[in-house]
Amino acid sequence: MSLLRVLLVLATVAASDAASRPLWDSLARLQPETEESPQAAAVQELLERLLGPRAASAFSVSINRSLAGPGGLDTYRLRSGALGVIEVAGSTGVAAASGVYRYLKDFCGCHVSWSGSQLRLPDRLPPVPTEIIVTSPNRFRFYQNVCTQSYSYVWWNWDRWEREIDWMALHGINMALAFTGQEAIWQRVYLSLGLNQSEINEYFTGPAFLAWNRMGNLHTWAGPLPLSWHLKQLYLQYRILERMRTLGMLTVLPAFSGHVPHGILRVFPRVNVTRLGSWSHFDCTYSCAYLLSPEDPMFQVIGTLFLKELIKEFGTDHVYSADTFNEMRPLSSNPAYLSKVSAAVFRSMTGADPSALWLMQGWLFQHQPDFWRPPQVQALLHGVPLGRMIVLDLFAESKPVFSWTESFYGQPFIWCMLHNFGGNHGLFGTVESINQGPFKARSFLNSTMVGVGLTPEGIEQNDIMYELMTDLGWQREPLDLQQWTAKYATQRYGTTNTQAMEAWQLLLRSVYNCSGVCVNHNHSPLVHRPSLRMVTDLWYNKSDVYEAWRLLLSSASELGASNTFCYDLVDVTRQAMQQLVSDYYLEIKQAFQNHTLSRLLMTGGVLVYDLLPELDNLLSSDGRFLLGFWLEAARNVATSDREAELYDLNARNQLTLWGPSGNILDYANKQFGGLVLDYYGVRWSLFVSTLVECLNTGTPFHQNQFNQAVFQVERGFIYNGKRYPAKATGSTLEIATKIFLKYYPSAMKHVY
Ligand SMILES: *[C@@H]1O[C@H](CO)[C@@H](O)[C@H](O)[C@H]1NC(C)=O
Ligand SMILES: *[C@@H]1O[C@H](CO)[C@@H](O)[C@H](O)[C@H]1NC(C)=O
Ligand SMILES: *[C@@H]1O[C@H](CO)[C@@H](O)[C@H](O)[C@H]1NC(C)=O
Ligand SMILES: *[C@@H]1O[C@H](CO)[C@@H](O)[C@H](O)[C@H]1NC(C)=O
Ligand SMILES: *[C@@H]1O[C@H](CO)[C@@H](O)[C@H](O)[C@H]1NC(C)=O
Ligand SMILES: *[C@@H]1O[C@H](CO)[C@@H](O)[C@H](O)[C@H]1NC(C)=O
Ligand SMILES: *[C@@H]1O[C@H](CO)[C@@H](O)[C@H](O)[C@H]1NC(C)=O
């Protein structure tokens, strides 16, 4: 055991209160570089964006670093000042913004979420009767998964980024990835190394797949990146970094993980590279990364060159992210080799920034647990000095890694809720696990936990889970979930409505209460390629969702004007209809297996000609559920028709085939108006008509033949050349009511 490690363990053991636990020097030094008064001004401006001009006189924001708790723990203070002004002080801008949000929620009943905000303020702001001081037990409150960049942010403009960063500050996020625009820097570096443009073009993927290019999983697919892409992303990155830093957030920049384009082999023929295996369902046309040997001098040359160039361009907060073996098996399980790789990655960071700290996603450990046995995990982690790496325990709510690795063998870690895969719609949550998990992790033997995080692959779904998790970031013990949920409903709609509150209690105990190993992939037959072997079982009692649906609809007369309510009404109706699709699917299957043609025609007909079109109508009535919104956002980034076509292809392919031939088919499925009718609907229609044909001709159903035929339908959607409206049509309430009247009775029939 090294001296440092002994000291560390002693120090950790000595601390009883989590908040007073000493931190590694390297972490304590990580502080926002922005001065106090610009941070205060940034929060004040945020408030004016949020609340309008009245915020200027209603709130007085100040930043004072010495408010921070031990080791730099964020702290805010709220009190009433002269003339009813609400005084907010924070140790950082983020701390102050969190304080303001706490005030807005608890004193004014407000709510800010991805799907909308509820910001009706009383004419006179309620006073804070006694001063409130809160210190977060979490040094870091982290946000983002490498994948979020592709599944959610890929087409964003500055307006959308600005809203997101505001959301982050209000929700207490003080550390986040800042990955935009990195390809522009890589392009510069590769050109300077002697690669030519066509070698670079064939390396980068298209915009919607860059997350996996960055982790070495994928190359070439849906590319190349136009020059205008790089310029636009650079511009965005400047603004993103500037805003995040003035609010007092720590930005995490990308670093070199060891993967190189094929062109490197032409320029440096003697370079020692090994080729990793293929990734997921791709072959080497689009995967099989070239990984530089950790001992090859070019590793340091390229890694340091990139990071120096990046820092020169963007400055730095000294935290860098790199993932070498994400879902890719290393060539050797020899611990010495694994340590050499992580040491090489880290050295290429310190070569550019001596105080570099490596933030690594811990997904790999739980993804290939047969390879990553304790000696392999320890070797990779110990290639880096203790305290110079932070591991994201990426999926801690379901598959925590800290618990079987002696708390990452002494490296600090962040307990993260992953929650969402591929940005799927579908109500889902593991409330008990996230309400308990972080507290258990902090009191784990010799725990090295330094924070909590959100690491969803996609956002803009299940607001409640993110509200809960970010609230927990300031808690010292679990919350009373029922009570918290009642408050959530009230704040979200701006009024206390008993039925809405009951609806949320039902959702809390059902869809949001998955326990055990819960993977939120929407497995509903609705969004998958039909077959006779689809899984329809659920982790909850579906009658709770139907009842919540009924309750929300009956509160519509009171809440119908609320924009967050309308979103939830669409979302819960959507969930109910997704359940109904499973019922119809089972009936179709049974009718086919019983050779009951009339029954097959009936149930198949209802599904294809009524249920799915009605679902499409419902989704099309809300701008937050529109295919057109996603596609138009993609087109808006383009500077020419050719670029628009490329981006449109990227946007459609990611939602559907995910690759040229359905490689990761329907992984990132969405329930969007337009997509349900023209993609899922057409597919279901082909399935039903194929089954009818089989019964009519007395032939068996061949899945392989069907797959070939349906692939044409799926591809057909991508190239259908249709433009979809980016504006909602129809009244959500009318459509939802109509669907309810038509389907609620049959839904309930299937419950009993
Ligand atoms: C900041 O806080 C410290 C400790 O509470 C206090 O002594 C100091 O006066 C404060 N500074 C300002 C500028 O208010
Ligand atoms: C880049 O180099 C490759 C290999 O020498 C060559 O085939 C290709 O034509 C070159 N492209 C450009 C744009 O120079
Ligand atoms: C190339 O690198 C691998 C490890 O990545 C190492 O085992 C091998 O000895 C190296 N080959 C040469 C010729 O240096
Ligand atoms: C954890 O702490 C205990 C004392 O509570 C100590 O005996 C043990 O060696 C520590 N384990 C590790 C892996 O550091
Ligand atoms: C979630 O389900 C468990 C049983 O699996 C139960 O003990 C717990 O109370 C439920 N939590 C909520 C919030 O409904
Ligand atoms: C689901 O809930 C309904 C209504 O509360 C109840 O009648 C039914 O028995 C429940 N089903 C199961 C499997 O628990
Ligand atoms: C199919 O047959 C089974 C038993 O043979 C029966 O229970 C079921 O009701 C039939 N279903 C339909 C849709 O005809």
Confidence of residue 707 (pLDDT cuts 50, 70, 90): very high
Average pLDDT, the chain: 95
Mean pLDDT of 300-308: 98
Backbone dihedral angles phi then psi of residue 292, each to the nearest 5 degrees: -70, 140
Nearest CA to ligand 1 atom 14: 64
Percent of the chain with pLDDT over 70: 97
Look at 656 and 2; give whichever has higher pLDDT: 656
Predicted confidence at residue 4, as pLDDT, reads 44
Any residues with CB less than 8 A from the CB of 643 and at least 6 apart, and which?
226, 228, 229, 637
Q: Which protein residues are within 6 Å of ligand 7, measured from CB?
A: 587, 590-591, 594, 596, 599
Task: Report how far ligand 4's centroid is from the alpha carbon of 381 (Å).
Answer: 18
- Torsion over CA: 520, 521, 526, 527 (sign): positive
> Among 411, 446, 447, 448, which is best to mutate for testing ligand 4, by the most ligand atoms less than 8 A from CB?
446
- Torsion over CA: 7, 9, 12, 14 (sign): negative
Nearest CA to ligand 1 atom 12: 64
Tell which residue, 396, 399, 481, 398, has the closest CA to residue 435: 481
Query: Which CA distances in Å does 474 have to 73, 110, 303, 412, 434?
Result: 10, 18, 37, 19, 13
pLDDT tens for each residue of 209-256:
999 999 999 999 999 999 999 999 999 999 999 999 999 999 999 999
What residues are paired with 143 via a beta bridge? Answer: 176, 454
**Residue in the structure block whose two tokens are 């080497």:** 284
Task: Report how far ligand 7's centroid is from the alpha carbon of 589 (Å).
Answer: 10
Q: Residues 125, 467, 623, CA angle at the centre, nearest 5°? A: 90
Task: Report how far ligand 3's centroid is from the alpha carbon of 274 (Å).
Answer: 8
Query: Is the predicted pLDDT of residue 11 greater than 80, yes or no?
Result: no
pLDDT tens for each residue of 516-537:
778 789 999 999 999 999 999 9
Residue 285 burial (10 A CB sphere; 0-12, 13-18, 19+):
exposed
Mean pLDDT of 122-130: 96
Write the single-letter amino acid at 474.
W
Superfamily grouping for domain 490-522+535-595+731-752? N-acetyl-b-d-glucoasminidase (1.20.120.670)
Q: Which fold has domain 140-479?
A: TIM Barrel (3.20.20)
pLDDT tens for each residue of 639-686:
999 999 999 999 999 999 999 999 999 999 999 999 999 999 999 999
Atom of ligand 1 at shortest distance to CA of 65? 1
pLDDT tens for each residue of 484-499:
999 999 999 999 999 9
Task: Report how far ligand 4's centroid is from the alpha carbon of 402 (Å).
Answer: 14
Look at 25 and 178; give whichever has higher pLDDT: 178
Residue 513 in contact with residue 670, Cβ under 8 Å?
no
Query: How many CA atoms are closer than 13 Å to the CA of 359, on its beta-carbon side?
Result: 29
Nearest CA to ligand 2 atom 2: 196
Alpha helices in 370-428 (DSSP H): 374-382, 406-409
Nearest CA to ligand 3 atom 12: 272
Mean pLDDT of 561-582: 98
Residue 319 in contact with residue 357, Cβ under 8 Å?
yes
Predicted confidence at residue 55, as pLDDT, reads 96
Predicted confidence at residue 395, as pLDDT, reads 97
Q: Note the CATH number of domain 36-135.
A: 3.30.379.10
Note the ligand closest to the C-alpha atom of 540: 6
Note the ligand closest to the C-alpha atom of 589: 7
Query: Is the predicted pLDDT of residue 24 greater than 90, yes or no?
Result: no
Mean pLDDT of 97-117: 98
Nearest CA to ligand 7 atom 12: 591
Confidence of residue 405 (pLDDT cuts 50, 70, 90): very high
Task: Report how far ligand 7's centroid is from the alpha carbon of 596 (Å).
Answer: 9
The yes-or-no answer to whether 140-479 and 490-522+535-595+731-752 have a common fold is no
> Among 199, 201, 268, which is best to mutate for testing ligand 2, by the most ligand atoms less than 8 A from CB?
199
Confidence of residue 23 (pLDDT cuts 50, 70, 90): low
Confidence of residue 10 (pLDDT cuts 50, 70, 90): very low
Task: Report how far ligand 4's centroid is from the alpha carbon of 440 (Å).
Answer: 17
Backbone dihedral angles phi then psi of residue 375, each to the nearest 5 degrees: -65, -35
Query: Is the predicted pLDDT of residue 1 greater than 80, yes or no?
Result: no
Residue 268 in contact with residue 201, Cβ under 8 Å?
no
- Per-domain boundaries in the chain: 36-135, 140-479, 490-522+535-595+731-752, 627-727
Our answer on whether the CB atom of 87 is closer than 6 Å to any ligand 1 atom is: no
CB atoms closer than 10 angstroms to residue 208: 24
Predicted confidence at residue 703, as pLDDT, reads 98
pLDDT tens for each residue of 148-202:
999 999 999 999 999 999 999 999 999 999 999 999 999 999 999 999 999 999 9
* pTM of the complete model: 0.96
3-state secondary structure of 363: helix
Query: Which CA distances in Å does 162 have to 153, 157, 458, 567, 672?
Result: 12, 9, 18, 22, 24
Query: Is the predicted pLDDT of residue 637 greater than 50, yes or no?
Result: yes
Predicted confidence at residue 20, as pLDDT, reads 38
Name the CA radius of gyration of the chain, rounded: 26
Predicted confidence at residue 752, as pLDDT, reads 64
Predicted confidence at residue 548, as pLDDT, reads 98
Residue 464 in contact with residue 479, Cβ under 8 Å?
no
Nearest CA to ligand 3 atom 6: 293
Predicted confidence at residue 26, as pLDDT, reads 87
Residue 292 in contact with residue 345, Cβ under 8 Å?
no
Nearest CA to ligand 7 atom 4: 594
Note the ligand closest to the C-alpha atom of 588: 7
Both tokens of 519, joined, read: 């993977």
Our answer on whether the CB atom of 287 is closer than 6 Å to any ligand 5 atom is: no
Nearest CA to ligand 3 atom 4: 293
- Torsion over CA: 317, 407, 92, 487 (sign): positive
